[in-house]
C-alpha cells in the first residue's frame, strides 16, 4: 500500500516540478518568505510526532516523565546552536554530511525490509545530490547561501569543480544502484524523484529548489510513513496525523518566527532567513536522527 502511495506522490511531485519550472516567474527568485513559511509549516511537520517516538524511547529506559524527553530533545538542539556559534563551519559541514544520509535514507528505505551496512553508504551517496546539484547548477547563489550562514567556502569541497561534479555523478550512480539492489517493482520511484530534484535545481534558485524538495518530497514522504503507522486507513490516518502533529508544529513555527525577528535586528532579510532555515533545520535534524537511531537499534 505504501509503495503505491509513494509512487503516486513521486509522479505528482515530478509533475509539480515540471509545471513550476515551465514559468519564468518561478525561476531565479529565491522567494525568501515563501521558503520560510513552507519550511516552518510543512517542512518541520514531519518531525512533529517525535514526542510519540519519545514515549517509546522512555519505555526502553524505564522512564515515565515526558518532561525528560522534551528536556533531552531540546538540550541537543541547544548544543547544536551553541556549536554553530563556536564553530559554524564545523557544525554546518557536519550537518551537510548528516543531512545527505538522512535525505537518502528516509527517501528510500521504504523499498527495503532488511537493513544492511552497504545500503547506508548508498543512502548517504544518494542523498548528497541535494548538496551537489545546487553547487553544480547555481554555484554562486549556493556559495552565497553558505557564506550567510557562516560556512567557510574556501574549503576544497566547495571550490574544486571536479570534486563537485564527481560527487554529483556518484550520487546519480548510487540512486541507480539502489534501484537495482532493491528488487522492488516500485524502485523506479527513486529515478522519478531524481529527475524532479535535478529539474528543480537546474531551473530554480537553490533555496527555492531545496524548499520544494524538503517540504513536498522529503517531508511528505516521511509523513506518509508516519500516517501508515497511525492507521492503515489513509483517510483516518491523515486526520490523526494533522491532529497529533499540529501542536508541536505550531510551537516550532513560533520559535522560527521569533528567531527570524531576533536575527533581523542584526542581519539583512536574506541572511536572517537563510540562518533561520538552515540553522533551525540543523537544530531539529540532529535530535530527530539520534531519536530514530536509538529506536532503530532497539528494534522499535
Give the relative orientation of helices 117-127 and 88-106 as an angle to the nearest 10 degrees. Answer: 110
At 192, list the grid cell: 522519478
| pLDDT of 112 | 86
| pLDDT of 300 | 64
| pLDDT of 299 | 67
At 11, list the grid cell: 509522479
Q: By CB neighbour count within 10 A (0-12 exposed, 13-18 middle, 19+ buried), where does 244 fall?
A: middle
Give the relative orientation of helices 220-230 and 2-21 as an angle to the nearest 10 degrees. Answer: 160
Whole-number Å distance between alpha carbons of 265 and 80: 22
At 23, list the grid cell: 514559468
| Four-point Cα dihedral 50, 9, 229, 186, nearest 10 | -120
| pLDDT of 19 | 94
At 53, list the grid cell: 517516538
Q: What is the DSSP letter of 109?
A: G
Q: What is the DSSP string of 221-262?
A: HHHHHHHHHH-SSHHHHHHHHHHHHHHHHHHHHHHHHHHHHH
- The SS3 of residue 114 is coil
pTM of the entire predicted model: 0.92
State the alpha helices, DSSP H only, in 183-219: 189-203, 206-213
Max Cα–Cα distance, the chain, nearest Å: 56
| pLDDT of 48 | 82
Q: How many CB atoms lie within 10 A of CB 264?
A: 14
Contact present, 222 and 154 (Cβ < 8 Å): no
Contact present, 76 and 287 (Cβ < 8 Å): yes
- The SS3 of residue 262 is helix
Q: How many CB atoms lie within 10 A of CB 1?
A: 8
At 236, list the grid cell: 483516518
Whole-number Å distance between alpha carbons of 87 and 90: 6
Whole-number Å distance between alpha carbons of 87 and 85: 6
Residues 6+ apart with CB under 8 A from 65: 58
- Tens-digit pLDDT profile for the chain (300 aa)? 778 888 999 999 999 999 999 988 888 788 999 999 999 999 998 888 898 888 888 988 888 889 999 999 999 999 999 999 999 999 999 999 999 999 999 999 888 877 778 899 999 999 999 999 999 999 999 999 999 998 888 877 888 889 999 999 999 999 999 999 988 888 999 999 999 999 999 999 999 999 999 999 999 998 888 888 787 777 788 888 888 889 889 999 999 999 999 999 999 999 999 999 999 999 999 999 999 888 888 766
Whole-number Å distance between alpha carbons of 274 and 258: 14
Whole-number Å distance between alpha carbons of 259 and 279: 10
| pLDDT of 167 | 95
Amino acid at each position: 500500500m505504501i509503495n503505491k502511495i509513494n509512487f503516486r506522490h513521486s509522479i505528482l511531485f515530478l509533475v509539480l516540478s515540471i509545471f513550476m519550472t515551465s514559468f519564468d516567474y518561478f525561476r531565479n527568485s529565491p522567494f525568501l518568505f515563501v521558503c520560510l513559511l513552507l519550511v516552518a509549516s510543512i517542512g518541520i511537520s514531519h518531525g512533529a510526532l517525535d514526542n510519540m517516538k519519545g514515549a517509546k524511547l522512555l519505555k526502553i529506559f524505564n522512564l515515565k516523565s515526558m518532561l525528560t524527553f522534551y528536556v533531552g530533545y531540546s538540550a541537543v538542539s541547544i548544543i547544536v546552536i551553541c556549536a554553530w556559534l563556536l564553530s559554524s563551519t564545523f557544525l554546518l559541514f557536519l550537518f551537510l554530511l548528516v543531512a545527505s544520509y538522512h535525505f537518502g535514507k528516509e527517501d528510500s528505505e521504504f523499498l527495503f525490509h532488511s537493513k544492511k551496512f552497504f545500503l547506508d553508504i548508498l543512502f548517504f551517496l544518494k542523498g548528497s545530490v541535494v548538496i551537489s546539484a545546487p553547487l553544480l547548477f547555481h554555484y554562486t547563489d549556493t556559495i552565497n547561501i553558505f557564506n550567510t550562514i557562516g560556512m567557510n567556502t574556501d574549503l576544497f569541497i566547495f571550490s574544486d569543480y571536479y570534486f563537485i561534479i564527481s560527487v554529483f555523478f556518484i550520487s546519480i550512480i548510487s540512486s541507480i544502484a539502489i534501484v537495482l539492489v532493491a528488487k522492488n517493482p516500485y524502485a523506479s520511484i527513486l529515478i522519478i524523484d531524481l529527475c524532479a530534484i535535478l529539474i528543480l535545481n537546474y531551473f530554480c534558485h537553490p533555496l527555492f529548489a531545496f524548499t520544494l524538495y524538503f517540504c513536498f518530497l522529503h517531508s511528505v514522504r516521511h509523513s506518509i510513513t508516519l500516517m501508515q503507522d497511525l492507521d492503515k486507513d489513509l483517510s483516518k490516518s491523515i486526520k490523526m496525523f494533522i491532529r497529533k502533529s499540529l501542536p508541536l508544529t505550531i510551537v516550532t513555527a513560533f520559535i522560527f518566527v521569533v528567531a527570524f525577528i531576533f536575527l533581523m535586528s542584526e542581519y539583512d532579510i536574506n541572511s536572517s532567513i537563510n540562518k533561520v532555515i538552515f540553522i533551525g533545520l540543523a537544530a531539529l535534524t540532529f535530535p530527530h536522527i539520534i531519536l530514530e537511531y536509538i529506536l532503530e537499534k532497539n528494534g522499535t
